Amino acid sequence: HLQRAINEQSKNSGKNMTSLIKILKNFFQESLNSSYPQLSHCTVDVTPSTKITFGDYQCNSAMALSGEMKKLGAKTAPREIAQNLVAKLPLSSSEVIEKTEIAGPGFINIHLKNSFVLSELTALITKGVRPPYVGPTKRVIVDMSSPNIAKEMHVGHLRSTIIGDSISRLCSYVGHDVLKLNHLGDWGTQFGMLITHLIEKFPNYKTEMPPISDLMEFYRESKKRFDSDEEFKKTAYQNVVRLQAKEEDYYKAWLLICHESFKAFNKIYKYLDVQNLVNRGESFYQDLMKDTVEMLDRNGVTEIDEGRKIAWPTGEKGQGVPLTLVKSDGGFTYDTSDMAALRHRLFEEKADWILYCVDQGQSTHFDAIYQTAQTAGWYDPKEKRVEHVGFGLVLGDDKKKFKTRSGDTVRLQELLDEGLMRSEKKLKENNRDSVLTPEEFKAAKEATAFGCIKYADLSHVRTHDYVFSFDRMLDDKGNTAIYLLYAYTRIRSIVKNTNLSKEEIEKLAANATAESLPIDHPREIRLAKFLLKWPEVIETVYKTLMVNSLCEFLYELAGVFTEFYEKCYVVEKDRTTGEIVKVNTHRLLLCEATANVMRAGFDILGLQAIDKM
């Protein structure tokens, strides 16, 4: 298995970057296997240094390994283990590691060799920014956005859309085959309710629908009647049955309602540049539900409880919250639709990974769904990654759930429009309107507005709540999209100032060799090392699905670049004439590489990189 992975990796070597952490880890693992064969079942860990003075990376495994030795009945001090690990490093490691130091109880500080950094940098420049190799291509399904038809798409759905889109982009970037599914709430009693109300209040319902805002008002009214008027409730239930039987008038009305809702959703997806999102809501799984319940019967996980059919997730009665698969009136539920969807995704779509970007409030539901499926023998979590990618709430300034002043849910369309307005104001404050052409200004305005909204979301630890604040997300000095977009355009303009054409620069990059890159200034080296973290950052995000690590990396990169540029001129000009006397090619190529890494990051975050701002 391992050999196959290695072969595949070397076959791909041009297509991928290798993370330095992985290279170092392999050295230390090899050393462990030879110095302590009795511990070869243990793995060593290498992490980035916490402080520059401690070197570039560190291996802190000696302490844990000493504990493992103790388990085997041997007393070995961590420091001794660290010494042996260093002593037994394979010969080839000397091409990568300049020196190591053992600090404190047994921390191993690792300093990289400049010649190695240079050769890796050369590969980055000549071959471009590439993803790390993460294994063979996988079929990944991302359940994302998933608003409810005829209802307002709220900020929770905005988070799901932004996070889901970014995770999809990441999975595509590393080479997976991604299917983005919009699991719309488009089926159920509420439509019987709404249609019943429309029949009275909007007689044209068979041929046309009011716009979404009116539809939502109708929805609210129908809900009120449903909760207070027994007669209405009865009719609503009858009409759900008619809709489920696809009786023409009811089905057509439902289609129209969906159509009207999509118009509103699609506008938002267009703003946010969300592409290839496949609408496959609860209604899609209707016909599969009966069969799914029967399958669960056969799997032996269902039981009858007071007229309902339920399933205990672990198979153990009383453990956790049971799923309700069939209600006592014979109807199916949200649980049933998610079991049917999971089954379809596993067995029809043959997904290897299924990621559900849904707010954390639904974690009990998803735990129960996944657990039940495992108990039923549908999949083995060691082979398939079926995971709830949960996220926290969006809060207002008052630290309470984000609402309008009157207490209503915030309309996303209005929110995005306000973003546009505010970004326009911000750019005008910075006099961008006098520098840019109208088209450039428009591009900058949109990239800033939507970029800032996305970035504010993605840069927070997704499982935490965060406060939505336009002022903060449009602060061009903070950790924001506008700051990064400015940093990016600045690098592009530095490159442009060399007066070299795009083709000339490409040629320089393609022909770069380690010898032609006289990189020796400490800030050049620091920038080079930082750029080479790209594959390790991608690996981390890929493993944890925590996109904020990528945001932190880009933000830090902008800082490291600034420090580099303060001291290292790219273009040297004649003081009196202003004429270019020298272009430092190696620095120019460092600028290019930085911009390219940033751009690759923007692509994953869904930010629009613009050359002029």
**Binding-site ranges for ligand ARG (CB under 6 A):** 143, 146-148, 183, 185, 338, 341, 356, 358
| Closer residue to ligand ARG in complex, CB, 185/322 | 185
CB 453 within 8 A of CB 268: no
| Closer residue to ligand ARG in complex, CB, 148/336 | 148
Strands 308-311 and 323-326: antiparallel
Tokens of 397: 């300034």
| Closer residue to ligand ARG in complex, CB, 311/358 | 358
DSSP state of 189: H
CA geometry: angle 405, 406, 408, nearest 5 deg: 100
Exposure string for 408-422, b = 16+ CB within 10 A, e = fewer: ebbbbbebbeebbeb
| Closer residue to ligand ARG in complex, CB, 235/324 | 324
| Closer residue to ligand ARG in complex, CB, 131/192 | 192
SS3 string, 280-303, reads CCHHHHHHHHHHHHHHHHHHCCEE
CB 454 within 8 A of CB 605: yes
CB 190 within 8 A of CB 169: no
Strand partners of residue 355: 142, 387
| Closer residue to ligand ARG in complex, CB, 148/302 | 148
| Closer residue to ligand ARG in complex, CB, 265/553 | 265
Rounded to whole angstroms, the Cα distance separating 108 from 94 reads: 15
| Closer residue to ligand ARG in complex, CB, 232/285 | 285
| Closer residue to ligand ARG in complex, CB, 143/476 | 143
- Minimum distance of ligand ARG from residue 383's CB (angstroms): 21
- Minimum distance of ligand ARG from residue 149's CB (angstroms): 9
Nearest Cα neighbor of 362 from 143, 162, 139, 141 is: 143
CB 568 within 8 A of CB 485: no
- Minimum distance of ligand ARG from residue 367's CB (angstroms): 13
- Minimum distance of ligand ARG from residue 472's CB (angstroms): 27
| Closer residue to ligand ARG in complex, CB, 242/365 | 365
| Closer residue to ligand ARG in complex, CB, 184/481 | 184
- Minimum distance of ligand ARG from residue 610's CB (angstroms): 33
At residue 242, φ and ψ (nearest 5 deg) are: -65, -40
Distances in whole angstroms, Cα of residue 226 to Cα of each of 237, 333, 349: 10, 18, 38
Rounded to whole angstroms, the Cα distance separating 280 from 141 reads: 12
- Minimum distance of ligand ARG from residue 148's CB (angstroms): 5
- Minimum distance of ligand ARG from residue 338's CB (angstroms): 5
Tokens of 368: 């129960």
- Minimum distance of ligand ARG from residue 404's CB (angstroms): 19
| Closer residue to ligand ARG in complex, CB, 146/479 | 146
Amino acid at 518: P
Tokens of 516: 């032609």
Rounded to whole angstroms, the Cα distance separating 22 from 539 reads: 10
- Minimum distance of ligand ARG from residue 174's CB (angstroms): 24
CB 61 within 8 A of CB 44: yes
At residue 179, φ and ψ (nearest 5 deg) are: -120, 120
Q: Report which secondary-structure segment, H or E, holds 467.
A: strand 466-467
Largest CA distance in the chain: 92
- Minimum distance of ligand ARG from residue 331's CB (angstroms): 17
Nearest Cα neighbor of 167 from 9, 390, 483 is: 390
- Minimum distance of ligand ARG from residue 38's CB (angstroms): 47
- Minimum distance of ligand ARG from residue 337's CB (angstroms): 7
| Closer residue to ligand ARG in complex, CB, 159/432 | 159
- Minimum distance of ligand ARG from residue 361's CB (angstroms): 8
CB 506 within 8 A of CB 114: no
CB 465 within 8 A of CB 392: yes
Query: Under the phi-then-psi rule, with left for phi > 0, alpha for psi from -120 to 50, and beta for the rest, what region is 145?
Result: left
Nearest Cα neighbor of 9 from 93, 181, 130 is: 130
Rounded to whole angstroms, the Cα distance separating 311 from 320 reads: 10
Residue 22 CB contacts under 8 Å (≥ 6 apart), including other chains: 132, 535, 536, 539
Amino acid at 507: K
- Minimum distance of ligand ARG from residue 464's CB (angstroms): 19
CB 419 within 8 A of CB 450: yes
| Closer residue to ligand ARG in complex, CB, 412/528 | 412
